Structure 1
Amino acid sequence: MSTTTTPRSGGEWLQSWDPENEETWDKALAWKTLWITTFTLTMCFVAWFLPSAIIPKLNALGYTFTKDQLYWMAAMPGLAAGLLRIVWMVLPPIMGTRKMVSLTTLLLVFPVLGWGVRVINPTAPYWELMVLAFLAGIGGGAFSGFMPSTSYFFPRKMQGTALGLQAGIGNFGVSLVQLLTPWLIGFSMLGFLGHSQSMKIAGKAPKEVWYQNAAFVWIPLILIGAAWAWFALKSVPVKANIRQQFDIFSNQDTWWMTLIYIMTFGTFSGLSAQFGLLMGNLYGSGNTDIVAGSGASARILVSGYSIPDPAAFVFLGPLVGAGARVLFSPLTDRMGGARWSLVSALGLIASIIYTIPALTPDTSSAAALQGGFTRFLWGMLAIFLFSGIGNASTFKQMPMIFERRQAGGVIGWTAAIAAFGPFFFSLGVGMLGATLFYWVGVAWAVMCAVIVWMRYARPGAPKPS
């Protein structure tokens, strides 16, 4: 079905755009749009997850927040992203791709600059850092505008690949932040923008760092992305006001796909934001004084176990999840999305169950503790892998289930709800404890596996996709 368009004046607006007509479709323009919006979306994910790389180290830099305060701060970008995605999901038909992408990218400067300034001196009040954490959610909110907008430029048969590439490469922004931050803070390349800090971690000597580098280094790239989008992008004049876009909610498949995307991207985003904190609380520096045995008479320090630094591992999860989204997207175009969504659900069930025993570290010996950490790490990476596969497959399913305009709206809506992943993960772990919350995840994945099979994947399914 071709995109319903309405004439609009101005050089940015395309006329009579129909990607399903191969004779008139401008393939070069579509791919140029994809690469520009993918670059800017990567910057959006950098801004969104920058707090997750900084918050675990705030107390080491001189702040004195409680564990609960840090969990809530780490959850705030996810809460903000979920709320803001509901706004961004209706912007593509109203603003057009060019204005929406360029102006959104420019807004990223505010939270990134703010975090860079506030790590230089540990004097910011809690409420101010919570505001900066909320503003970082702009980067997450952008996803629900960028993805539907890009879908307008490609035919259905290519949308699995196109959207998978954009979302997957964009997701690499999470790993970029978490991988490069430990390296960026180690030298004074941007020292002229602020003095160094002394990072103090229990059991280790103080370390001189320049944590502002982790934020300031991205600002030139953000500005380049905003300018590139403004001068190079075009807009598809899709006809749909806000009321018309809400007709997606009368379609039951909107709700089924929302549940499934919570399982996939909600898991990816939630774990990405909390991976470092969770790993640190279970196996990190807080466990330096681990004892063997029980009771007051059995206070024997466990030796021979080197406490891991979460910063050395935390980037791996988002890297695996984003990579899976990129690599499996062409397979969803070739084989259909529903069967891969089923693989995702079954894989998540198995990998979460495998990980659960490691959520209660065994401190009886150094070997047991090391084994628990190894199981935790591999289990978490498996969860990231299967969530990434599901992220790719669901974005293939939605354009096949819905007509083009509705598909864009459903992509935006499901992404908005799943963006609450960091918030609900933090809330769930804080209220239920990690083990019980992970069992909730198992139950959710079982429910989604049944939905995928009955509605989309089985022979004779009502909506094969």
Structure 2
Amino acid sequence: MSVTAPPAAPHTGRRTGRWIDDWRPEDPEFWESTGAPVARRNLIWSILAEHLGFSVWLFWSVSAALLVKVGFEFSVSQLFLLVAVPNLVGSLLRLPYTFAVPKFGGRNWTVVSALLLLVPTLLFATAVQDPTTPYWVFLLIAATAGVGGGNFASSMANINFFYPAKRKGLALGLNAAGGNIGVAVLQLGLPIVVGGAGLFGLVKASSGGLHLARAGYLYAALAVVAAIMAYFFMDNLSSARSNARDVASVVTHKHTWVMSFLYIGTFGSFIGYSAALPLLIKLEFFVPEPLPTGTGINFAYYAFLGALVGSITRPFGGWLADKYGGARVTLATFGAMILGTLGVLWTVTQLAPNPTADPAIALDNKSMFPLFLVAFLFVFAATGIGNGSTFRMIPAIWKRDTKKSSAVIGIASAVGALGGFLIPLAFGAPWIDNPVESVKTAFGVFTAFYVVCLVVTWAVYVRKASVARVAGLADARI
């Protein structure tokens, strides 16, 4: 039987596209002969759609840092809030996006979710062309970018149905990494597209000034391409179904919330730091004087590296988890994150305060930037590995029920994404007079949180008398 053209089946009232009725990924013969190539094809186009979703979700991480350059007079706290709001909305949308896959089909929902990216991109392109656009309008437009964050949950839940248990770690890691790397591509490419920066001498910055609308139109066009590719090359699985009973059972399961908590530490840190890094570099290491180039470190050359490193290491975390167990890898990850965050905190304490007051201070701070960047990239690498390992733990805990594990993936990804809202908010807290000092306080709080995450991972999943082992989950190789 051809999987891409399944035999006729009774009409269910939901067949609006290509549906596969016979899907047995745990059957080795079926997997080798039929399942693997179909799963691989769906994974490829899922990665593209999720990549664009992440790019649009983190659109404001770069755009906010450029708004002042084109004449919008917003405070540091206002800019950090523009960066944070899409992450809050995206986290809230992840639950309904997860359950949209069994309701409408993975392929069908990928088409819809890609087309929804037209809303934030076209609104952005319109708003930045009018210098009188008020802040509250930008805040609403930033909120619509949250639809890009929802894409991750539906994409991961969908791919989870396609792969057998022993291959989920790498498959989910690749799918997530393809999406995560959209942040790096955006942060590197958007300044070039809009004419705000060159590319290490290979591409020169536009001499005609900044044109932020270009980025909005470009990503709107790419969203249409992703929708078309999903429509023609992806599939829906009839077996990818869930019901209220499945959802209720995982909501009341304590491991659902433990994993959600740990995912705040890994993915929440990745997305929060990715969103905030451009503004952090601008705040700590750059001043706009003397005109026109300014003094210090230009975020456009370096901010993308964090998301790039975290994206690349994510599938590596999935692979390590497949080999050694997700809990052990996650434990080591939090240890690394503690060390890395302490390194970042130390470099921040060495900086001269308020570099925006004096170009000479920005030059002094510039000497500390290499240490700051190396320590931060170490943290990003650890978050990527942790993202892969924690997501591998979920199918291991719910080893015998793919529907429930997909529901947990959606819940954990929703809760974890809240870190993307809280981290930028902590850096630009409006109740703190000195934003530079608030950065130091924030990194201290984050370090303490990672210590708690490490203890929870050890107590619940790693130690010999852990909660998981006592509950009989040891055979799942969590």
Asked whether the 8 Å contact 2:269–2:419 carries over to 1, the reply is yes
User: What secondary structure, in the 3-state scheme, does the structure 2 residue paired with 1:23 have?
Assistant: helix
Q: 2:104 aligns with which of 95, 99, 106?
A: 95
Q: 2:265 aligns with which of 263, 266, 270?
A: 263
- Structure 2 counterpart of 1:369, which letter? N
Asked whether the 8 Å contact 2:278–2:299 carries over to 1, the reply is yes
Asked whether the 8 Å contact 2:246–2:403 carries over to 1, the reply is no
Residue 224 of structure 1: CA displacement? 1.2
Q: What CA RMSD, in Å, does the superposition of the two structures yield over aligned residues?
A: 2.4
Q: 1:329 aligns with which of 294, 297, 318?
A: 318
TM-score by length of 2: 0.84
Residue 129 of structure 1: CA displacement? 1.1
Asked whether the 8 Å contact 1:52–1:273 carries over to 2, the reply is yes
The reply on whether 1:272 has 2:274 as its aligned counterpart is yes
The number of equivalent residue pairs is 428
Residue in 1 aligned with 2:454? 449
Q: Take 1:398 and 1:56, find their aligned partners in 2: how far apart are those partners?
A: 36
Residue in 1 aligned with 2:154? 145
Q: Take 1:72 and 1:169, find their aligned partners in 2: how far apart are those partners?
A: 26
Q: Deviations over 1:66-117 (max 9, x none)?
A: 2221121111111110111122122111111011111000110111122122
Q: Take 1:425 and 1:368, find their aligned partners in 2: how far apart are those partners?
A: 26
Q: 1:115 aligns with which of 124, 137, 141?
A: 124
Residue in 1 aligned with 2:329? 340
Residue in 2 aligned with 1:235? 236
Asked whether the 8 Å contact 1:258–1:414 carries over to 2, the reply is yes
- Structure 2 counterpart of 1:405, which letter? K
Residue 241 of structure 1: CA displacement? 2.3
Q: 1:351 aligns with which of 340, 345, 350?
A: 340
Greater alpha carbon shift after TM alignment, 69-78 vs 114-123: 114-123
Residue 177 of structure 1: CA displacement? 0.6
Q: Deviations over 1:206-230 (max 9, x none)?
A: 9612222222222222111101112
Q: 1:383 aligns with which of 361, 376, 379?
A: 379
Residue 409 of structure 1: CA displacement? 0.9
The reply on whether 1:24 has 2:10 as its aligned counterpart is no
Q: 2:409 aligns with which of 408, 411, 436?
A: 411
Q: Take 1:401 and 1:342, find their aligned partners in 2: how far apart are those partners?
A: 16
Asked whether the 8 Å contact 1:171–1:322 carries over to 2, the reply is yes
Q: Take 1:7 and 1:243, find their aligned partners in 2: how far apart are those partners?
A: 24
Residue in 2 aligned with 1:222? 223
Q: Take 2:330 and 2:370, find their aligned partners in 1: how far apart are those partners?
A: 27
Q: Take 2:364 and 2:329, find their aligned partners in 1: how far apart are those partners?
A: 36
Residue 339 of structure 1: CA displacement? 1.6
Residue in 2 aligned with 1:53? 62
Q: Take 2:80 and 2:324, find their aligned partners in 1: how far apart are those partners?
A: 40
Residue in 1 aligned with 2:351? 362
Residue 460 of structure 1: CA displacement? 6.0
Report % sequence identity: 30
Asked whether the 8 Å contact 2:286–2:295 carries over to 1, the reply is no
Greater alpha carbon shift after TM alignment, 178-187 vs 245-254: 178-187
Residue in 2 aligned with 1:41? 50
Residue 120 of structure 1: CA displacement? 2.5
Q: Deviations over 1:303-354 (max 9, x none)?
A: xx95111111110100010011133332322222122111110000000111
Q: Take 1:27 and 1:80, find their aligned partners in 2: how far apart are those partners?
A: 35
Greater alpha carbon shift after TM alignment, 173-182 vs 82-91: 82-91
Measured at CA, do residues 368 and 65 of structure 1 come closer, stay the same or move farther in structure 2, by a change above 3 Å? closer
Measured at CA, do residues 63 and 161 of structure 1 come closer, stay the same or move farther in structure 2, by a change above 3 Å? same
Q: Take 1:100 and 1:137, find their aligned partners in 2: how far apart are those partners?
A: 16
Residue in 2 aligned with 1:295? none
The reply on whether 1:437 has 2:442 as its aligned counterpart is yes
- Structure 2 counterpart of 1:448, which letter? C
User: What secondary structure, in the 3-state scheme, does the structure 2 residue paired with 1:121 have?
Assistant: coil
Asked whether the 8 Å contact 2:152–2:179 carries over to 1, the reply is no
User: What secondary structure, in the 3-state scheme, does the structure 1 residue paired with 2:296 have?
Assistant: coil
Residue 231 of structure 1: CA displacement? 2.3
Measured at CA, do residues 7 and 271 of structure 1 come closer, stay the same or move farther in structure 2, by a change above 3 Å? farther
Q: Take 1:262 and 1:444, find their aligned partners in 2: how far apart are those partners?
A: 10
Residue in 2 aligned with 1:244? 246
Task: Within 5 Å, give how 1:138-217 maps onto structure 2.
Answer: 138-186=147-195, 208-217=209-218
Residue 368 of structure 1: CA displacement? 5.3
Q: Take 1:349 and 1:371, find their aligned partners in 2: how far apart are those partners?
A: 24
Asked whether the 8 Å contact 1:169–1:326 carries over to 2, the reply is no
Q: Take 2:340 and 2:250, find their aligned partners in 1: how far apart are those partners?
A: 33
Asked whether the 8 Å contact 1:272–1:318 carries over to 2, the reply is yes
The reply on whether 1:85 has 2:94 as its aligned counterpart is yes
Measured at CA, do residues 233 and 362 of structure 1 come closer, stay the same or move farther in structure 2, by a change above 3 Å? closer
Greater alpha carbon shift after TM alignment, 220-229 vs 165-174: 220-229
Q: Deviations over 1:131-190 (max 9, x none)?
A: 110111100012111101110000010000000000011111001110011221229xxx
Residue 59 of structure 1: CA displacement? 1.4
Structure 2 runs not aligned, ≥5 long: 1-9, 197-204, 354-359, 433-437
Q: Take 1:371 and 1:452, find their aligned partners in 2: how far apart are those partners?
A: 37
TM-score by length of 1: 0.87
Q: 1:420 aligns with which of 418, 438, 441?
A: 418
Asked whether the 8 Å contact 1:105–1:225 carries over to 2, the reply is yes
Structure 1 runs not aligned, ≥5 long: 1-5, 188-197, 200-205, 290-304
User: What secondary structure, in the 3-state scheme, does the structure 1 residue paired with 2:19 have?
Assistant: coil
